[in-house]
Amino acid sequence: MKTERTMVCAGAVAVLFSILPLLGLSRSGSGEGQSKIEEVHASALGILLVAELPSAAFPHQDRSRGYSYEGDDYSYESHYSDPSVAVFIPRGLRPGVSTDLVFFFHGWFSSVDDATTRFSLLEQFAASGANALLVIPETARDAPDSFGGKLEEDGGLARLSRDLLGLLARRGYLRGASLGNVVMAGHSGAYRVMARILERGGLSGKIGEVYVFDGLYSEMDTFYSWIVGGHGRFVSVYGDDEGGTRDNSLLLMDSLKASGLQVAAGMDDPRLDSGVLGSRLVFLESSFDHYGLVSEAGEFRRILASSPSLSMTDPPAAAR
């Protein structure tokens, strides 16, 4: 799995997270028993909030003493004590009786801050026109660790979704707290928490789509079982790195075809993949690197815009 870090500065969004301490959100602490939410920024794209929830991935007892990997130690205080969940409400959201959620999980040596800026997640989400909320939970922060904390427990994502929607409704951001459809996306090491959620997250009837960005390192049986169970759309965008995501993607494609399922394969190129993205099972081979294949050609935006699970609204002019 790649661990090099190519820091990308998306100025405006980077500034949003730099002022979090001023709003009283420490990005660390016990996170137990208390929920709170603060508005970080409002712009032509939408409203960004950061919540702290007891149902967030961390803290978790299994990392209360930190974690060691290849001789390096990653402390609880710096990497596993943050109960933050970022929430983006796009301009033009049409409130309904229920609210659709799109979750994005970051990978190794990353964080909510890093993934949001590196991948231009807010800009891509707003430009997609998805009539939903973008939710980015903090998992293992800046660590080589795929463990998803409380989100790997039975009913973990169901609790987080319930707590988050309830808090947003109480604060007047939503009309009610009813959950609609759920889409999960993740990069690299996020494969594990996504697999655990599919197995026991408590939302098996709600998750309609799964997007894996260069993350098929393992858990192939879990993704295969979810797909053949007829649960929804699956999209894998993979590169040609040494981690094995390309080989595993090809193996998964072969297994699905052997099960009698139709698989659409193509190249990660907006000029070529429009027809492919309309399929239920999509595999895109990318010429971009491990990080570039999430946003270099607007991959997250393009996949969301072709979603069969999410209703669409007109993206704001600033996002077009």
Query: Residue 4: inside a domain, yes or no?
Result: no
Query: Residue 2: inside a domain, yes or no?
Result: no
190 Cα distance to chain centroid? 8
Q: What's the total number of domains in the chain?
A: 1
Residue 45 has pLDDT above 80, yes or no: yes
Query: Residue 118: inside a domain, yes or no?
Result: yes
Q: Are 8 and 117 in contact (CB under 8 A)?
A: yes
Query: Residue 229: inside a domain, yes or no?
Result: yes
Provide the 10 A C-beta neighbour count for residue 290: 25
Q: Sorting pLDDT into bands at 50, 70 and 90, what band is 274?
A: confident
Integer CA distances (angstroms), 68 to 73, 74, 262, in order: 4, 6, 42
Q: Are 101 and 133 in contact (CB under 8 A)?
A: yes
Query: Residue 265: inside a domain, yes or no?
Result: yes
Q: pLDDT by residue (tens digit) across 209-255?
A: 999 999 999 999 999 999 999 879 999 999 986 679 999 999 999 99
Angstrom distance (rounded) from CA 163 to CA 137: 13
Residues with Cβ < 8 Å from 225, sequence gap 6 or more?
none
Residues with Cβ < 8 Å from 50, sequence gap 6 or more?
20, 23, 25, 37, 38, 40, 84, 85, 86, 87
Query: Residue 52: inside a domain, yes or no?
Result: yes
Query: Residue 34: inside a domain, yes or no?
Result: yes
Residue 186 belongs to a domain with what CATH number? 3.40.50.1820
pTM: 0.90
Q: Are 152 and 60 in contact (CB under 8 A)?
A: no
Q: pLDDT by residue (tens digit) across 131-168?
A: 999 999 999 999 999 999 999 999 999 999 999 999 99
Query: Residue 53: inside a domain, yes or no?
Result: yes
Work out whether the CA dihedral 197, 102, 26, 39 comes out positive or negative: negative
Q: Which helix (H) or strand (E) holds 253?
A: helix 245-258
**Domain range spanning residue 253?**
11-319
